[in-house]
Structure 1
Amino acid sequence: MEDIRFGVHTRERLKALAQDGFAVVVPLAATEQHGPHLPVRTDTVICEHICEEAIRIVGNRAKLLMAPVIGIGCSEHHLAFGGTISFSAAVYLQMLLDIGRSLHESGFQRIIFLNGHGGNEWQMQQATADIALQYPVWTAAASYWNIARQALLRAGAEECGPVPGHAGVFETSMIMAIAPDEVKEEKRIAGHKTLTSPSQGMANVSIGRRGLLTGYDGVTDASIMAARESGEQYVRVISEAVAQWLIAMATHMDSKEG
């Protein structure tokens, strides 16, 4: 099986893989505050792990390469809390467009963005449309929690807090599963007011106000109920759902080429 990592290949091999119809999956993440108990690379850890695991599950059922994770995102709403590195929305959009242009110039005709940070979503969708308009390529994009929403509901992920939320039960559980040594257990929050929204669970619907876009004090819900076992379950069902989505995207792209 071909090594899925874009970065390990030579230019000649990548040209050959592009000619063979491989799609490049670009994981989009962030470096931003995640409360007092989680590392600022939380979104990057989760997104990279899910992307790699999903492509592993896909195996030979689709031709996929994994680009290096983009570990800085559009996190302007986190800057006031510190510990955050962000692109502005305009710069982030242009960066995604440049990724698409670069992959096109390298011969790739299938580009898939897999997102792991809510602040990236609008620019990602815009870039996906613009790249497909500018170049003769297939594009697709989605955030992992939207791809896996029904599977997560069946797993009971929303019973303890919002999904994906921010630095609450959901994300804390997954970091406990993926990188447990990076959780500051003594700093986990109890009794934190949960940020709710009438648009919770609806795709491409949002409501917010300055100072509350990240939850109260930068956290959406109390993390005290997080558990490693829950995180392992969430990671598993998300990775499986993303794998099926990637297969569906690749199959559709291949079928329309004929």
Structure 2
Amino acid sequence: MPETKEVRWNHLTAAELNELAARGAVVLVSIGSTEQHGPHLPTGVDDFMAAEVCRRAAMLIDDGPPVIVAPSIPFGLAEHHMLFGGTLTLSLTTLHALLRDLCRSIDRAGFSGILIVNGHGGTMTALHALTTELTAELNIPVGFTNYFAAGRTVIREILETQDGLMHACEGETSMIMAALPELVRTQELDNAVGPAITLPAESTDPVYFAVPFRAITESGVAGNGNKGTAEKGERLLDGCAQALADALAARRHW
């Protein structure tokens, strides 16, 4: 993908951002998590991948108002990973306050809309509710998506051992191999295995209980991280970015 334009908020000057706001630009706010990702992946996986998908999606937008990518939020709701160590988590009230302040700043800067793009399963149900409150509070439209939900179809087509992203799995391992290969502990790949899980949004259980992730998997992995490849990762990143760009193009009235 040719790098012909700059889409990252913190790589632009204030004057450049003001000009983009005047052109009706929409801002992507990516949010991930800093949490354990098994023995082979860094703790920043969810943050890195949400931000990378947003950057690639913004680069794909050629017609209509531009898309800008705000600095990523590297923290989410990760209480269920705390027993493993290496995890930073926010409370729900802190998450709401942080998102409110950032989105208010984007609104005051004159931009035409905000799309929150999530990369962490543990935060997504809370973000649905917070998006509703932010919509009522701000003067501009606010949307929400999980990048792995926007790209669900392409993810299912590419992965060989699972139907969707799990945790430190075939998919996440592949994407890190493609984007940040130096961060993969390849010597630990044989240990990067764990049981399959169902994402909260796809669960059919009639009752929800908060369960520590360590009760699900001793390795910290859900899925098959040892099946990851950089080739799959590049296709996953591009496919999710294209799905996100298509969703943005369908809402150009922002």
TM-score relative to the length of structure 2: 0.87
Distance in 2 separating the partners of 1:213 and 1:57: 39
Q: Is the 8 A contact 1:93 1:126 kept in 2?
A: no
- How far residue 241 of structure 1 moved from its aligned partner, in angstroms, is 1.0
- The answer to whether structure 1 residue 71 and structure 2 residue 44 are counterparts is no
Amino acid at match of 1:143: N
Q: Show the counterpart of 1:238.
A: 240
CA drift at 1:198: 8.8
1:173–1:228 CA contact under 8 A, matched in 2: yes
Equivalent of 1:247 in 242, 246, 249? 249
Q: Distance in 1 between matches of 2:174 and 2:125?
A: 26
Partner of 1:15: 18
What's the counterpart of residue 256 of structure 1?
none
1:62/1:247 contact within 8 Å kept: no
Give the TM-score normalised by the residue count of structure 1: 0.86
In the aligned structure 1, how far is the partner of 2:175 from the partner of 2:116? 21
Match of 2:236, SS? helix
RMSD: 2.5
Identity %: 28
Partner of residue 142, structure 1: 145
Matched, 1:51 2:66: no
- Quote the residue 1:121 is aligned against: 124
1:39 is displaced (CA, Å) by 0.6
1:244 maps to a residue whose letter is: D
Matches within 5 A, 1:161-240: 161=162, 163-190=164-191, 192-197=193-198, 201=202, 207=208, 209-212=210-213, 215-217=216-218, 218-240=220-242
What letter corresponds to residue 237 of structure 2 in structure 1?
V
Gaps of 5+ in 1: 254-258
For residues 201 and 24 of structure 2, what CA distance do their matches in structure 1 show? Answer: 38
**In 2, distance between residues paired with 1:161 and 1:189?**
17
Whole-Å separation in 2 of the counterparts to 1:117 and 1:139: 19
For 1:23 and 1:150, the matched residues in 2 are separated by: 25
Contact 1:166 1:214 in 2 (8 A): no
Q: Which residue of 1 aligns with 2:28?
A: 25
Give the 3 Å change call, closer, same or farther, for CA 233–12 of structure 1 in structure 2.
closer
Contact 1:78–1:84 (Cα < 8 Å) also in 2? yes
The Cα shift of 1:15 comes to 3.1
Instruction: State the 1:26 CA deviation.
Output: 0.8
Looking at structure 1, the residues matched to 227 and 68 of structure 2 have their Cα atoms a distance apart, in angstroms, of 36
Moved more, 30-39 or 213-222: 213-222
Q: Does 1:160 align with 2:161?
A: yes
Aligned partners of 1:92 and 1:123 also within 8 Å = no
Superposed displacement of residue 171, structure 1: 0.6
Distance in 2 separating the partners of 1:206 and 1:150? 28
Relative to structure 1, the CA distance from residue 193 to residue 104 in structure 2 (aligned partners, 3 Å threshold; closer, same or farther) is: closer
Q: Distance in 2 between matches of 1:36 and 1:110?
A: 39
Q: Residues 190 and 81 (structure 1 numbering): CA distance in 2 closer, same or farther, change over 3 Å?
A: closer
Q: What letter matches 1:18 in structure 2?
A: A
**How far did 1:148 drift?**
0.9
Structure 1 residues 192 and 2: CA distance shift in structure 2, 3 A:
closer
Give the conservation status (yes or no) of the 8 Å contact 1:28–1:115: yes
